[in-house]
């Protein structure tokens, strides 16, 4: 029987993982790990995959996808050791799920377009959530399966989208803007109270009100058709890009960054923005 090379590679990876976790001669670090301790590494690897894609680095993407796959293999090995599922079960499960959620591809259902497919996909997922809740003896919620381990902005966005499906949503964008103003007012009031009382619980109130402001801003982004996690990632990238430009300018001028005044920083920041908008200004400066 000829085994496809991919199957042979996966078998090799599974064997490597089993050896790393072997109590007799395995890797001490790997043997100490549990599902809980591996989670941070999985999240980190997923972000590194995203970073490689964002930078258009296909060679690095191949490497990072391998690291992410290794996380899956790690979990399945630990599950197998405890008498649970194994890698084959995971692959079979996701294969069955994809077939179940694509009846227009693997069955005789017709789907007119991508929009119709999205509606059908969500319908299948809702049915799966309901079946799971029934099996667990509880009432299904529209918020089921919005993973708590997601980045907070992303999770807020998904929670709001799920609630909106059953009509729990603002109709007019002006209402969302009013809600943001309301939450900012409450935050300012909490800050004023904290300054007056100096009580520790006041700081907790500030944190709570600040969270409400962020949640409202995510809602605003959703109504504007903006994905907040992506928007913040882009804002982070823009800040990093401009600040590195400011650093370069200051260093080239012989400034000690710790001795630069806020006014000087602000002026340099504006120059960095100008150079970013007009790359020719950088060329002219370097050639002068």
pLDDT above 50 (res 288): no
Q: Which whole number is the average pLDDT over 95-110?
A: 86
Q: What is the pTM of this model?
A: 0.68
pLDDT above 70 (res 126): yes
Between 35-54 and 58-81, two packed helices, what is the crossing angle to 10 degrees? 160
Report how many helices (DSSP H) and strands (DSSP E) the chain contains, helices first. 13, 0
Is residue 157 packed enough to be buried (19+ CB in 10 Å), middle (13-18) or exposed (0-12)?
A: buried
Q: What is d(CA 226, CA 219) in angstroms, rounded to the nearest whole number? A: 10
Who's near 227: CB < 8 A, 6+ residues apart?
Answer: 157, 221
pLDDT above 60 (res 281): no
Interval 49-86: pLDDT, tens: 999 998 899 999 999 999 999 999 999 999 999 999 99
Interval 22-32: pLDDT, tens: 999 999 999 99
Three-state DSSP state, 78 = helix
pLDDT at residue 185, rounded to an integer: 97
Report the half-sphere exposure of 260 (CA within 13 A, side-chain side). Answer: 18
Q: Which whole number is the average pLDDT over 98-110?
A: 85
Who's near 30: CB < 8 A, 6+ residues apart?
Answer: 20, 21, 74
- Contact indicator for 112, 119 with CB cutoff of 8 Å: no
pLDDT above 80 (res 3): no
pLDDT at residue 148, rounded to an integer: 87
What would the two tokens of residue 257 be?
């960054």
Higher pLDDT, 147 or 64: 64
């Amino acid at each position: 029987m000829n085994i496809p090379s991919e199957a042979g590679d996966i078998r090799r990876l599974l064997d490597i993982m089993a050896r790393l976790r072997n109590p007799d001669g395995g890797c001490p670090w790997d043997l100490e790990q549990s599902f809980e301790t591996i989670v941070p590494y999985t999240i980190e690897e997923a972000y590194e995959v995203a970073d490689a894609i964002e930078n258009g680095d296909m060679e690095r993407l191949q490497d990072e996808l391998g690291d992410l796959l290794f996380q899956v293999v790690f979990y399945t090995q630990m599950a197998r050791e405890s008498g649970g599922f194994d890698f084959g079960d995971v692959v079979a499960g996701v294969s069955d799920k994809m077939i179940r959620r694509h009846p227009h591809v693997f069955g005789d259902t017709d789907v007119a377009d991508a929009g119709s497919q999205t509606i059908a996909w969500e319908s299948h997922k809702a049915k799966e959530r309901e079946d799971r809740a029934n099996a667990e003896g509880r009432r299904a919620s529209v918020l089921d399966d919005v993973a708590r381990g997601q980045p907070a902005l992303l999770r807020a966005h998904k929670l709001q989208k799920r609630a909106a499906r059953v009509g729990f949503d603002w109709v007019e964008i002006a209402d969302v803007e009013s809600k943001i103003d309301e939450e900012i007012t409450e935050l300012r009031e909490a800050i004023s109270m904290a300054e007056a009382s100096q009580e520790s619980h006041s700081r907790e109130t500030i944190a709570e009100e600040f969270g409400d402001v962020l949640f409202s801003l995510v809602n605003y982004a959703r109504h504007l058709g903006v994905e907040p996690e992506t928007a913040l990632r882009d804002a982070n990238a823009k800040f990093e890009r401009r600040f590195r430009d400011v650093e370069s300018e200051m260093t080239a001028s012989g400034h000690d960054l710790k001795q630069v005044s806020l006014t000087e920083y602000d002026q340099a920041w504006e120059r960095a923005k100008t150079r970013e908008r007009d790359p020719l200004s950088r060329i002219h400066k370097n050639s002068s």
